[in-house]
A and B are shown apart, each in its own frame.
Chain A
Amino acid sequence: MKTNEEAKRKYEEMVKNASPNSPILKNCVIAFFSGGLICTFGQFLLNFYQNNQFSAEDAATLTSVTLIFISSVLTALGIYPKLGKHCGAGTIVPITGFSNSVTSPAIEFKKEGMVLGVGAKMFLVAGPVLVYGILASMLVGVFYYFGGR
């Protein structure tokens, strides 16, 4: 309990110290370039797969899978979290951030076991994303089916 409170205090201090040093404009510029570069790399992969006789849809899926793979490896090596500290939303918003949000807790909670640790905590962030994504897609589907076609 004590260490918990200590950690909390330390964290709050960290936030206080970090906040004035991270002006929003600078953050946005970094997010723009880092996020933009990840998308540019995605475009490179997309073109690469399309030039290798994959259909547009398959090429898009393969691009996502490749980015997810790279991000998962970088997360396992501890590199992606370091990038994330500097790049903010630039590394959170792309699909690589989604992959990081799956891999990171899977590693973090492996001590709690394969089922309730790795299996459950994997979806700590991705779970809500999927829940609301699926619900939104069904909402779209209902409107499309009854009205929009």
Chain B
Amino acid sequence: MTTETPQQSPATRTEVPGIQPGASGEAQLEVVGVDKTYQARRGEVHALSNVNLSIGRGEFISLVGRSGCGKTTLLRILAGLLPPTSGTVTADGQSIWRGGKRNDEAFEHFGLVFQDANLFPWYTVADNVSLPLKLRGMGKRARRARATELCELVGLPGFENAYPRELSGGMRQRAAIARALSYDPTILLMDEPFGALDALTRDKMNLELQSIHAQAGATVVFVTHSISEAVFLADRVVLLTPRPGRIRSITPVPLARPRSLETETSVEFQTIVRELRHELDEE
């Protein structure tokens, strides 16, 4: 799990989609020529056009862009919730879509976190967190023990028996992350998980996500519209532009880890953020 992450590689940038300088190790998640068109009421919407991306094992990738640039669409395709119109996605060498059908086997090691926590209100935190384990047939005792462990990990100790409505927004999102981590996924897909949180909570969650990533060693694809959040977390930042959604650039973030809130005040950090913002404004 601890293959070399590309964070040490020199800060080379590509403007051409398709060539991936970042992934030095083996690619765990490979997106090749993915296209997505929707049949909307006002005709066809070209959501994604020829997206190519190769993500290394243990790498942290941020997808940024304006709303409507297709970043959520791309993540939903990666998560197997939406079939691509054309192109292929492979995880650990297995195609995740087989003729328009989701290949459930390939998703064994995927963890998903959405913008909303999406906890089931009829389950306690412990039952929510261990739901994936229940689906995998784990016994009640073992599930309970694992739930306690996970609550500890995400900073919710003692909340096992609370119901979701008794938690604050940040705590619910922590529980959702715990649920996604419950079966030790090697790929974690996150769609603006902290979008609904206030700035202070968000900073805190970012720090915690960083340490969880370091501990669990999973590959992470993180969708956000906040450039500084993207840069803070990622090994590489993938910038998407809309109509049709395509990859505009991929920027390595060679900042040392673990990063702290002071990192955000460093010159390197701010240079990368400024450049990315510039690029977004150019559209």
- Chain A partners chain B: no
| Interface residues, chain A, with chain B CB atoms under 8 Å away | none
